[in-house]
């Protein structure tokens, strides 16, 4: 059997979360090919990842994806740009201390 793939998505636009979620839904139909999925959030997409978000459906999707080997990261440089600290973000997200691209 071939090695499983690791997939990284970079999302920068808060209006593109639905598109990203549809991509992951499609990939989940072939999870036998995937080891892990990571989503790195930068620019305005980071604004959806705050505890105060009113998008309950978004929060539910994030929780479900975490349960199936999807990891969520926020770029530290973007956090600094927007003044976002760890206490402001949803618990499913980790700040990528090296920056989003690494």
Distance CA 16, CA 88 (A): 21
* pLDDT at 3 > cutoff 90: no
In DSSP terms, 12 is beta-bridged to none
pTM value > 0.75? yes
Q: Are 45 and 100 in contact (CB under 8 A)?
A: no
Residues 6+ apart with CB under 8 A from 100: 10, 40, 41, 42, 73, 74, 75, 76, 77, 78
36/5 Cα distance (integer angstroms): 7
pLDDT in tens, 6-47: 899 999 999 999 999 999 999 988 888 888 899 999 999 999
Short-list 76, 53, 73, 54, CA closest to 65? 73
Over residues 50-98, the pLDDT tens digits come to 998 878 888 899 999 998 889 999 999 999 999 999 999 999 999 998 7
């Amino acid at each position: 059997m071939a090695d499983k793939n690791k997939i990284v998505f970079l999302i920068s636009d808060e209006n593109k979360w639905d598109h990203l979620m549809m991509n992951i839904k499609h990939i989940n139909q072939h999870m036998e090919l995937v080891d892990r999925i990571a989503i790195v959030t930068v620019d305005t997409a980071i604004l959806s990842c705050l505890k105060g978000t009113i998008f309950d459906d978004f929060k539910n999707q994030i929780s479900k994806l975490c349960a199936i080997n999807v990891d969520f990261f926020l770029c530290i440089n973007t956090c600094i740009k927007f003044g976002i600290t760890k206490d402001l973000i949803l618990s499913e997200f980790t700040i990528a201390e090296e920056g989003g691209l690494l």
